[in-house]
Amino acid sequence: MIHVEDLRRIIIEDINSIPKKTESESVALLNAIGRVLSEDIVSDINIPTSSVSAMDGYALHSSGQNFQENCEFVCIGESIAGKPFDGVLGSGECVRIMTGAVIPENTDCVVMQENVQREETENKITIKLMKTQPLGNNIRREGEEVSKGLAVLKAGHCISVTDIPLLASVGCGSVNVYKPLKIAVFSTGDELREAGEVLQKGQIYDSNRPTVKALLQSFPVIINDYGIIKDNPDEISRILEKAASENDIVVTSGGVSVGDYDFLKDCVSKLGNIVQYKVALKPGKPFVFGHLGKARYFGLPGNPLSTTISATLFLLPAIYQYFGVTLPKLSVKAKLGNEIKRRSGRTELQRGFVEKDANNDWVVYTQFSQDSHRIYQLSQANAFVYLPAEKAEFEKEEYVEIFPLNGKFL
pTM for this predicted structure = 0.87
> What pLDDT does residue 261 have?
45
Q: Angle at Cα 250 formed by Cα 248 and Cα 251, nearest 5°?
A: 140
Identify whether 203 is part of a domain.
Answer: yes
Identify whether 31 is part of a domain.
Answer: no
Helix (H, G, I), strand (E, B) or coil at 119: strand
**Residue 304 sits in the same domain as residue 344:** no
CB 5 within 8 A of CB 283: no
Which domain range does residue 310 map to? Answer: 4-21+180-321
**Residue 101 sits in the same domain as residue 8:** no
Of the CA atoms within 13 Å of residue 223, those in its CB half-sphere come to 17
- The CA–CA distances, whole Å, from 65 to 103, 126, 174, 184, 194 equal 18, 16, 49, 72, 79
**Residue 136 sits in the same domain as residue 235:** no
Q: What is the largest CA-CA distance in the chain?
A: 97
**Residue 155 sits in the same domain as residue 194:** no
Identify whether 27 is part of a domain.
Answer: no
Of 140, 169, 196, the domain-final residue: 140
**Residue 132 sits in the same domain as residue 150:** no
CA distance 184 to 249: 6
**Residue 230 sits in the same domain as residue 101:** no
**Residue 336 sits in the same domain as residue 245:** no
CATH code at 380?
2.40.340.10
Number of domains in the chain: 4
Strands 362-365 and 295-300, bridge-based pairing = unpaired
Closest residue by Cα to residue 16 from 321, 314, 289? 321
Helix (H, G, I), strand (E, B) or coil at 300: strand
Closest residue by Cα to residue 96 from 62, 125, 67, 129? 125
Closest residue by Cα to residue 193 from 201, 181, 185, 184? 201
**Residue 200 sits in the same domain as residue 285:** yes
Residue 408 sits at φ, ψ, to 5 deg, of -100, -5
Identify whether 228 is part of a domain.
Answer: yes
CB 378 within 8 A of CB 407: no
CATH code at 166?
3.90.105.10
**Residue 376 sits in the same domain as residue 249:** no
Please name the amino acid found at residue 332: V
- Render each residue's pLDDT in the chain as its tens digit; 410 residues: 899 999 999 999 999 999 998 999 999 999 999 999 999 999 999 999 999 999 999 999 876 666 889 999 999 999 999 999 999 898 889 999 999 999 998 888 999 999 999 999 888 999 999 999 998 899 999 999 999 999 999 999 999 999 999 999 999 999 999 999 999 999 998 999 999 999 999 999 999 999 999 999 999 999 999 999 998 999 999 999 999 999 999 999 877 766 544 688 889 999 999 999 999 999 988 899 999 999 999 999 888 899 999 999 999 999 999 999 998 888 999 999 999 999 999 999 999 999 999 999 999 999 888 887 788 888 999 999 999 999 999 999 999 999 999 889 98
Of 292, 321, 350, the domain-final residue: 321
For residue 192, the cross-strand partners are 204
Identify whether 16 is part of a domain.
Answer: yes
Region of residue 94 (left: phi > 0; alpha: psi -120 to 50; beta: else): beta
CA distance 71 to 116: 10
Identify whether 239 is part of a domain.
Answer: yes
CATH code at 301?
3.40.980.10
Identify whether 28 is part of a domain.
Answer: no
**Residue 346 sits in the same domain as residue 395:** yes
**Residue 85 sits in the same domain as residue 163:** no
**Residue 259 sits in the same domain as residue 152:** no
Which residues, at least 6 apart from 305, have a Cβ–Cβ distance to it below 8 Å? Answer: 283, 351, 372, 373, 374, 375, 378
Other C-beta atoms within 10 Å of 144: how many?
12
CB 102 within 8 A of CB 82: no
> What pLDDT does residue 77 have?
94
CB 228 within 8 A of CB 189: yes
Identify whether 157 is part of a domain.
Answer: yes
CA distance 254 to 264: 8
Closest residue by Cα to residue 329 from 225, 236, 402, 275? 402
CATH code at 76?
2.170.190.11
Of 92, 124, 140, the domain-final residue: 140
| 379-389 exposure pattern, b = at least 16 Cβ within 10 A, e = fewer | eebbbbbbbeb
Q: What is the 3-state secondary structure (H, E, C) of 59-86?
A: EECCCCCCCCCCCEEEEEEEEECCECCC
